[in-house]
Amino acid sequence: MKFSVIVPVYNVERFLRQCVESVLNQSCGDFELILVDDGSPDNCPRICDEYALKDGRVKVIHKTNGGAGAARIAGCKTATGDFIVCLDGDDWLSPDYLEKFSAVIDEFSPDICLCGFFNAGKNGRNTPCYPVEREGFFDKNDIEKTIYPYLIEDKHSNYFSASLWAKAIKRELFVASQITVDTRIKIGEDQCVVKPCVFRAESLYVIDECLYYYRQNDESMTKSKGVFDLSVPKLIANHFEKEIDVSSFDFQAQIYRHAVHDLFNAVASQFNAKRDEKEIRRIIRQTLSDEYYKKALKESRFAFLSKGWLARKALKNKMFCLIKAYNDRR
């Protein structure tokens, strides 16, 4: 079997049928669909079981809630396809997604294949977002020369596509990276798989077409006005330091930059908390005294006036009013 499509399912009852149907109606039929019910409190578990009864290509896993990362780990343990395709439960695929990927895999045998996507807005307008990389095949030398410089984050705050969706990754490569991710990482867990996969890949292929539909769902965690865990930027940085050889290239510097950028977003989100602002500022000051964060702020270097430069300056100088204003405008 060529493809295992893994869908973490949680609280997406309104969108799940469109998501599942987009896979079952693919022009390429060489796949299995693994629906991982992550303890969803709505009717998603019933909908998943309904599809499994109707179509033998559908497998369902029911588990207690643990987040998208834990759901993907459960899914990849039962996957049998040569390549893993990740699909969010509120998104959908173009009808020829797997066919286009299959043709590239047959001709070029890349470890990773990726494409562009559509931002599917609530107004019905689908805005195309094409890959920044050139179309075509990248061997290891090409990856090192053109992608390594911004794999995690460069001085201009550019980074390689962090999402697991709109990609197909060789199963062995995917599993080796996914199973090492700390399940405490609930935001940004995709990049903890993608970046090590690209680092280890011998080749990849870029399809310069938009074949994935990413729904602008305000209910999702990454788009909600939530309060992000202040320990997660360090957890992600530590994960990169274990999974990527920091003695090669400038990856340690990139990791510090990324930690600062993530920390800024986590700090800004604290102003969404329903607590006294003095207490919020106390928590932020305590966080900024963490030795790892202090080192990242000291060692990171950004291009003047880049997003990362502004984030670092705001954190180093404890410019809480500016950080709060940024969060209020998001």
- CA 147-153-158 angle, to 5 degrees, is 80
For residue 83, what are the β-bridge partners?
Answer: 3, 170
Q: What would the pLDDT profile of 167-209 be if each residue is shown by its tens digit? A: 999 999 999 999 999 989 988 999 999 999 999 999 999 999 9
Task: Please state, in angstroms and rounded to a whole number, the distance separating the CA atoms of residues 165 and 84.
Answer: 10
Domains annotated for the chain, with CATH where assigned, are: 3-215 (3.90.550.10), 232-329 (no CATH)
pLDDT, tens only, 55-92: 999 999 999 999 999 999 999 999 999 999 999 999 99
Q: In what helix (H) or strand (E) does residue 249 lie, and over which residues does it extend?
A: none
Question: What is the distance between the alpha carbons of residues 261 and 34, in angstroms, rounded to a whole number?
Answer: 34
For the record, the structure tokens of 174 come out as 């995917």
| Distance, CA of 128 to CA of 263 (rounded, Å) | 29
| pTM for this predicted structure | 0.93
pLDDT value for 313: 97
pLDDT digits (tens, 9 = 90+) for 284-312: 999 999 999 999 999 999 999 999 999 99
| Cβ atoms 193, 243 nearer than 8 A | no
Average pLDDT over residues 25-37: 97
